[in-house]
Structure 1
Amino acid sequence: MNTLKKEFYRYTDQIGITGSFICLIHCIITSGLMIGSTMMSNASHHHGHAHHHTLDVWGMIDLSMVVVSGIAVYFSTLKSTDEEFQNKLMWATYIVYSFCMLSKYMGFEPVGLTYLSYLMSFSLIGMHTVNLKKCAH
């Protein structure tokens, strides 16, 4: 069991990088599809419609990415105990990222939060990469 735990700790940053990257790609693609869909709908029907998020398949993917990212941040910060500032920054970034992702399910989704969630995903990728390099030595 200890070997499995050590292996898991060893790969938490890779999990975080992969999860953040997949989230970023997912968000960019779905945003593009939704914008394109709305534009096509408005062009053909001459009316707008409200876009809201539900806990369908895409919603479950969003929530699973928030959970995976949280697990990765938790274990990555445990692994790098000597980097207190970086750990706090990683947690702060994750909290902002989570807020951005979850706020759309509460009906609050200004465009600025979308861009902020992209920035937080890039930031988490960068921090996990730095953490990976620091802990490898």
Structure 2
Amino acid sequence: MCSFKNTLEKNSDQIGITGSLICLVHCILTSGIILGSSFISHHAHHGHHHHTFDFWGIVDLSMILVSGVAVYFATRKCLKHTHSKLMWVCYLAYLASTISKYLGFEPLELSLLSYAASISLIGLHIKNIYKARKSLLQQKAI
């Protein structure tokens, strides 16, 4: 179990990037498909669909869980406290925006917040990888 935890901690940023990318692609494709099918069928759904705990709901909840675990382990190795806080703020924005869709609250701004949070998490994980590698190189130079 300890090696699994170490693996999670070591690869948390890569896991977070992957999870955020999957979430972003899923959200964009789902919105695009729904908008496209709405226009084709001439039934205006105002650009969004009813979120239920079907297959896609399970995917959403899985991405919330994966992202949360990735942020938890990634922030444990953050060199700066502000970077860690930013990761948690982005994750909590992503969590709140995703969960609120299942509670029936789906304004366009909420979708934009979800996209922005996912993109921000990707950027923060990439920055975390860069900082960790830079720190490792500096330690080896000493």
Q: Same fold (TM over 0.5)?
A: yes
The count of residues paired between Structure 1 and Structure 2 equals 132
Matches of residues 85-104 of structure 1 in structure 2 within 5 Å? 85-104=82-101
Q: Trace 1:107-118 onto structure 2 (pairs within 5 A).
A: 107-118=104-115
Root-mean-square deviation (CA, aligned residues, Å) is 1.5
For residues 2-57 of structure 1, what are the alpha-carbon distances to aligned partners after superposition, in whole Å with 9 as ceiling and x for unaligned?
Answer: 44432221100000001001110111101100111111222xxxx54583111000
Output the CA distance in 2 between the equivalents of 1:69 and 1:8: 12
* 1:1-137 equivalence runs, <5 A: 1-42=1-42, 47-48=43-44, 51-80=49-78, 82-136=79-133, 137=136
Q: What is the aligned-residue identity percentage?
A: 52
CA deviation string 1:48-100 (max 9, x = no partner): 458311100011101110110000000100122x3100101110010001111
Structure 1: 5+ residue stretches without partners: none
Higher RCO structure (Cα 8 Å, ≥6 apart): 1
Which one-letter code corresponds to 2:37 in the other structure? Answer: S
Mapped to 2, the partners of 1:125 and 1:49 lie a distance apart of 30
Cα gap change, 1:49 to 1:128, in 2 (>3 Å): closer
Instruction: Tell me the secondary structure at the aligned position of residue 52 of structure 1.
Output: coil
TM-score normalised to structure 2 length: 0.86
